[in-house]
Every structure is written in C-alpha cells, then in structure tokens.
C-alpha cells in the first residue's frame, strides 16, 4: 500500500509509480477515500528493490506491506478507518436500516412508491427494491428492466438512497447509469468472482456502495472476506458484508440464521456488517427478533423486506415482508440496542 505525502498523486507521479511496479509484475489500484487516495499494490508487494525504489520518490510518505491475504479489507489495512457514506448517512455512526420490497411489481408501481414513503417515515435510511430477481425456476417472474424507473422515482420522491440486486453486466450498466446508490450482490453470486471484479471496476470512483450477501453455502469467514476483497481490488472499497442465512436450513426457518458471525467478521475486517434477517428466517413473524439479535451481535444495520400491503406483494413479500408499522417500532428498539451496546465498548471493555 503506497501512501503519498499529498492527498493524491498527480498524473505524472501516478504514471511513474505504475511504471516501476509493472517492472515487478505488480499493478496499482487507487482507492479513493473521502480525504485522501491510497494506492494498493496488487501482486508480490514485498519485492525489496521495488519497495526501495518507490520509497526513494520524494512525493511518497510510506509503503506499508500488509501481512494478510486481505490487503484492502483486513482490519489492519490502511483502509481500517475508511468510512462509507451513503446519502447523508455515514455507515457505523448510527444504525443503517435499509427497507422496502423484495421485488418491485412493474404492473403496480404505486404500491412501491407508497412503501418507499412509508419506510422513510418509519425511519429507514435507504430503500430496497428488487428490479431483477434470481429465481429458482426459469418460468417464475424474473423482474423487469422497466422497474428501474420506479426505483429511481422512489429515490427522487423520498430523497433516500436506493438498493437493488444486479446479477450480470447488462443489469450492472443499467443500475450504474440510473443512479442506484447500493448495488446488492446476491447470495447466488457471492462467489462469482468475474462479476465481483466487474462490479468493483464499474463502481470505482462513483460513490456507489456494494452490499455483498453471504453465499448460501459459504462456510469459512475468510471466504466471505476474500469475496469482498475482489470488489475492493477492482477499485471500490465501499463494500458492506451481509450475512443472510446459509444452507442447510434450520428446520422451520428459510435458512440457517447467521447473524452470530457478525463479531467474527468484525474481528477480521473493517467492513460494515448489514444483516439480512428477512432471508435468514424467511417469515415476517420471526423477522423482528432476528433483526434485534443481529444488532445485539454488533451489526451496523439491517436490510429488511417491508411492504405497505404484503398480501399484494410479489416475490418474497407476501411471506417475508413486515409492515411499515412494525418497522417503525423495530427501528426504535434497534436504536435502544445501539445505545446498550456502548456499555461493552466504553464502560466494560472486554479484551480477550
């Protein structure tokens, strides 16, 4: 990781650094923070001659080699203090709640707009709405490009940032051009490394955050963090990790709830953790307790399927969506959990 003396390298300085590292088969990935840009060296960054040549440049402050497979996402990386700003919200400073439909019904745009206003009023900080959906059966409704207009209409009317899942390059381009604020990478694509790279590259320098779901069969914590490293190495470090339940399921729930991995993730990576209790437990009546558990485990927020009239929803909404009234109460309770958590950080620090 190269840290320049000034907040950013000039074009000429950047080119000089690139030409040096390329001699050693490395490449440079600039990571733009809010106040400064740092330059990740991807490849064998410990090559002594290369390091010394870089350190010899009078505009370079430091060269930190990261002793971790996660050069960018590791808790000890240079990005450890990186903050992700979405809309007016700095993730980590207060609970980040994303709420809205599983799926936008293009035949019924007003329902989504009504839910968007209702979740804002309930206290959500961002709106979710599936434009395209990964479905088990190819004959089920797959979503529709036309729903993007409805999502952006909700963003304009409420002023809140919006989140949607993308599964391929076509969807990625449409979402980036339309002004989507959070790109969701779903559980089925969390190990699709080509897509993860593409998403990192397409969103570099664009202030678009990525919400990376945990894959359905993902085991080791490192596998999840490594997937997020692909996005950051592509050029976008605004990555948030989203446990959403794994398989095999816990009998009675949709998946095996995994909000309890939050502290393990936080031990290893600085990335914010936004838990998805909706897909984890899969039934509206179980969602509030799963959401509160996630916050008690130390999550930075939750993403919750919420619908103003779940019976009229499509996709997961009829079974999984809570109503805006439940969301309002839940957000009040989450705010209290957020305060309670501080006891264990400040008054009773636990170190072992």
Q: Residue from 227, 316, 321, 327 that binds Mn ion (CB under 5 A)?
A: 316
**Binder of ligand PEP out of 134, 179, 298, 318 (CB under 6 A):** 134
Peptide bond into 316 cis (omega under 30): no
Q: Which of 97, 187, 284, 331 binds ligand PEP (CB under 6 A)?
A: 187
Q: Provide the edge-to-edge strand list for the sheet that holds 37-42.
A: 27-32, 37-42, 2-4, 60-63
> Considering the complex, what minimum distance in angstroms separates the CB of residue 109 from Mn ion?
19
Q: C-alpha angle with apex 324: 336 to 179, nearest 5 degrees?
A: 95
Are 34 and 90 within 8 A, CB to CB? no
Which one, 39 or 297, has the nearer CB to ligand PEP?
297
- Residue 279 engages ligand PEP in binding (rule: CB under 6 A): yes
Task: Determine which residue in the list 51, 66, 86, 102 makes contact with ligand PEP, applying CB under 6 A.
Answer: 102
Burial class of residue 300 in the structure, from the number of CB atoms within 10 Å of its CB (0-12 exposed, 13-18 middle, 19+ buried): buried
Q: Does 102 bind Mn ion (CB under 5 A)?
A: yes
- Binding range to ligand PEP, per CB under 6 A, among 48-56, 108-116, 185-193, 263-271: 185-193
Contact 280, 258 (CB under 8 A): yes
Segment contacting ligand PEP by CB under 6 A, of 38-46, 184-192, 219-227, 339-347? 184-192
- 213 touches ligand PEP by CB under 6 A: yes
**In the complex, minimum distance from the CB of residue 327 to Mn ion, in angstroms, rounded to a whole number:** 16
User: What is the spatial distance between Cα 331 and Cα 292, in angstroms, rounded to a whole number?
Assistant: 9
Phi, psi dihedral angles at 28 (to 5 degrees): -110, 135
Helices (H) and strands (E) in the chain, counts: 12, 14
Q: Which two tokens stand for residue 31?
A: 């990571």
Q: Which is nearer to ligand PEP, 91 or 216 (CB)?
A: 216
235 binds ligand PEP (CB under 6 A): no
Residue 244 found at the interface with ligand PEP (CB under 6 A): yes
Enter the tokens of residue 14: 């950047």
Please give the Cα distance from 293 to 282 (Å, whole number): 15
CA dist., res. 83 & res. 91, Å (int): 7
Residues 326-345 that bind ligand PEP (CB under 6 A): none
Contact criterion met (CB below 8 Å) for 79 and 228: no
Q: Is there binding between residue 186 and ligand PEP (CB under 6 A)?
A: yes
C-alpha distances in Å from residue 293, one per residue of 277, 288, 333, 338: 9, 9, 11, 11
Q: By beta-carbon distance, which residue lies closest to ligand PEP?
A: 186
Q: Residue 313 in contact with residue 221, Cβ under 8 Å?
A: no
Q: Round to whole Å and give the CA distance between 217 and 222.
A: 13
Is 60 a binder of ligand PEP (CB under 6 A)? Answer: no
Residue with smaller CB distance to ligand PEP, 75 or 221: 221
CB of 321 to ligand PEP, least distance (A): 11
In whole angstroms, the minimum distance from the beta carbon of 343 to ligand PEP comes to 32
Residue 187 touches which member of Mn ion, ligand PEP, none, C-beta under 5-8 Å by kind: ligand PEP
Q: Which is nearer to ligand PEP, 100 or 123 (CB)?
A: 100
Segment near Mn ion (CB under 5 A), from 72-80, 99-107, 115-123, 259-267?
99-107
Tokens of 33: 């923070």
Residue 298 makes contact with ligand PEP by CB under 6 A:
no
Phi and psi angles of residue 242, each rounded to the nearest 5 degrees, phi first: -130, 95
Q: Which is nearer to Mn ion, 50 or 182 (CB)?
A: 182
Residues near ligand PEP (CB under 6 A) are: 102, 130, 134, 165, 186-188, 213, 244, 276, 279, 316
């Amino acid at each position: 990781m190269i840290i320049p003396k000034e907040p950013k390298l000039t074009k000429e300085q950047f080119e000089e650094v690139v030409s040096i590292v390329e001699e050693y088969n490395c490449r440079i990935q600039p990571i733009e923070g809010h106040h400064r840009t740092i330059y990740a060296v991807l490849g064998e960054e410990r090559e002594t001659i290369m390091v010394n040549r870089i350190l010899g440049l009078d505009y370079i402050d430091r060269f930190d080699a990261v002793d971790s497979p996660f050069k960018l996402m590791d808790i000890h990386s240079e990005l450890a203090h990186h903050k992700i700003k979405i809309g007016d919200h700095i993730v980590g400073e207060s609970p980040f709640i994303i709420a809205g439909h599983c799926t936008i019904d293009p035949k019924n745009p007003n329902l989504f707009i009504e839910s968007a206003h209702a979740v804002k009023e309930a206290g959500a900080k961002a709106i979710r709405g599936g434009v395209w959906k990964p479905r088990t059966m190819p004959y089920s409704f797959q979503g529709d490009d036309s729903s993007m207009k409805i999502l952006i209409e909700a963003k304009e009317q409420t002023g809140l940032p919006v989140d949607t899942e993308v599964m391929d390059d076509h969807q990625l381009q449409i979402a980036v051009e339309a002004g989507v604020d959070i790109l969701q990478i779903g559980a089925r694509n969390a190990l699709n490394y080509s897509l993860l790279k593409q998403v990192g590259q397409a969103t570099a320098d664009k202030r678009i955050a990525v919400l990376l779901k945990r894959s359905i069969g993902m085991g080791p914590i490192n596998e999840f963090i490594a997937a997020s490293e692909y996005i950051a190495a592509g050029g976008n470090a605004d990555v948030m990790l989203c446990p959403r339940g794994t398989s095999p399921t816990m009998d009675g729930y949709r998946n095996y709830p995994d909000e309890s991995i939050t502290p393990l993730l936080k031990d290893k990576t600085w990335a914010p953790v936004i838990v998805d209790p909706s897909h984890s437990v899969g039934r509206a009546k179980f969602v509030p307790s799963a959401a509160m558990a996630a916050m008690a485990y130390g999550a930075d927020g939750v993403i919750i399927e919420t619908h103003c009239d779940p019976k009229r929803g499509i996709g997961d909404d009829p079974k999984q969506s809570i109503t805006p009234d439940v969301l309002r109460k839940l957000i009040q309770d989450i705010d209290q959990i957020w305060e309670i958590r501080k006891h264990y950080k400040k008054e009773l620090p636990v170190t072992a």
